[in-house]
Amino acid sequence: MKSKLNIGLIGAGRIGKVHGETIAFRVPEANLLAVTDPNTDAATAIAKRCGIPQVCASTDEIFANKDIDAVLICSSTNTHADLAVQAAEAGKHIFCEKPIDHTLEKIDRAIAAVNKAKVKMQIGFNRRFDSNFARVRQSILSGEIGTPHLLHIISRDPGPPPISYVKVSGGMFLDMTIHDFDMARFLIGEEVTEIYAAADVRIDPEIGKAGDVDTAIILLRYANGVIGTIDNCRQAPYGYDQRVEVLGSKGAIATENMYPNRAVVSTAESVRRDLPLNFFMERYLDSFEREVRDFVNAVVNDTETPVTAADGRVPVVMALAAKKSYLEGRPVKLSEIA
């Protein structure tokens, strides 16, 4: 394998733009050779911005290009699994945005294709690469806070996505909470065995009409006895709310939100600071860089990717269990889904 990885970018939407700019300007170990998107204007704009030499009319052109070593799949979720299969069959290593698919059948087909072709696959759970959450993980691994007892994850978006997105997203548990399900596994280092979800439509009635929810509390029970909660909402008027706390037998560790500055304004009326960073593009910029760099290094050095295809499957099982719990009003064991 070459010392500099040649990559084809599939998808020129919001996350495609994030990854394209990350590689072009922050990951010199990789090189973007081509980009494709059904929206040619969007693909052309990214190519111009990031110095990508080729805008392809289809994914077939990228898979057929022998100079391309790996692909970044940043297209809509319903295309991920099929594209992963095609990429594997073409001998390309794969970085795939989450989730691989909304169904376990298609996920398993993609994983089987990856294993058969012996290519590498990494799933885009970028929060694992955030320095704050990595510190929480370190404290648990090292025993710094003792045996973990309680985990609380707060994850609230600054505003809901367009209804057109909600209708095809698979629902909040699969498109938003899925990051938190992955973090729940990553931080505690243990598997969840049972989930109970209480959810409702509190932000926008149109979300309910589309068959989804926008606010939820999810209770997790782990195999080792830890109890976890995930607090989700599609709207936090003050900005992107991303916090974690773990209570252990020797102490606790917690992370706060990220802010554009550390300044505090104190007057006779109030003590205040600016609002948190507004959304994931700003909040997780460094983690996007780290995850892509680790993927590139795994391919170049022939090591395991830090977030495997199997790691991509389990949060989908958790999301399906949460949805089943919400619909049936009862705790659901993951064994009922898997």
Query: Rounded distance, CA 126 to CA 97, Å?
Result: 9
> Order of strands across the sheet with 241-248?
252-255, 241-248, 148-156, 227-233, 215-222, 192-200, 332-333
Could you tell me the CATH number of the domain that includes residue 234? 3.30.360.10
Could you tell me the CATH number of the domain that includes residue 91? 3.40.50.720
Judge whether 292 lies within some domain.
no
Judge whether 297 lies within some domain.
no
Query: Rounded distance, CA 313 to CA 112, Å?
Result: 12
CA angle 179, 180, 184 (to 5 degrees): 125
Q: Are residues 110 and 140 in the same domain?
A: no
Tens digit of each residue's pLDDT (9 = 90 or more) over 59-84: 999 999 999 999 999 999 999 999 99
Q: Are residues 104 and 161 in the same domain?
A: no
Q: Are residues 238 and 165 in the same domain?
A: yes
Does the structure show a pLDDT above 60 at 249?
Answer: yes
Q: Are residues 211 and 89 in the same domain?
A: no
CA angle 216, 16, 26 (to 5 degrees): 110
Q: Are residues 181 and 327 in the same domain?
A: yes
Q: What's the domain count of the chain?
A: 2
Q: Are residues 141 and 32 in the same domain?
A: no
Does the structure show a pLDDT above 60 at 1?
Answer: no
Does the structure show a pLDDT above 70 at 107?
Answer: yes
Contact in structure between 228 and 184 (CB atoms under 8 Å): yes
Q: Are residues 238 and 92 in the same domain?
A: no
Tens digit of each residue's pLDDT (9 = 90 or more) over 188-208: 999 999 999 999 999 999 999
What value does the CA radius of gyration of the chain take, rounded to a whole number of Å? 20
Tell whether the torsion through CA atoms of 84, 320, 154 and 150 is positive or negative. Answer: negative
pLDDT at 2: 62
Which of 119, 139, 157 represents a domain boundary (last residue)?
119
| Mean pLDDT, rounded, for 31-35 | 97
Full domain range(s) for residue 183: 128-283+315-336
Contact in structure between 187 and 133 (CB atoms under 8 Å): yes
Q: For 200, phi and psi rounded to 5 degrees?
A: -160, 175
Question: How far is CA 256 from each of CA 201, 241, 244, rounded to the nearest angstrom?
Answer: 27, 9, 7
Print the SS3 string covering 157-210: CCCCCCHHHHCCCCCHHHHCHHHHHHHHHHHHCCCEEEEEEEEECCCCHHHHHC
Tens digit of each residue's pLDDT (9 = 90 or more) over 280-335: 878 898 999 999 999 999 999 999 999 999 999 999 999 999 999 999 999 999 99
Which of 119, 145, 179 represents a domain boundary (last residue)?
119
Q: Both tokens of residue 195?
A: 């989930």
The burial of 247, by beta-carbon neighbours within 10 Å (0-12 exposed, 13-18 middle, 19 or more buried), is given as middle
Contact in structure between 171 and 316 (CB atoms under 8 Å): no
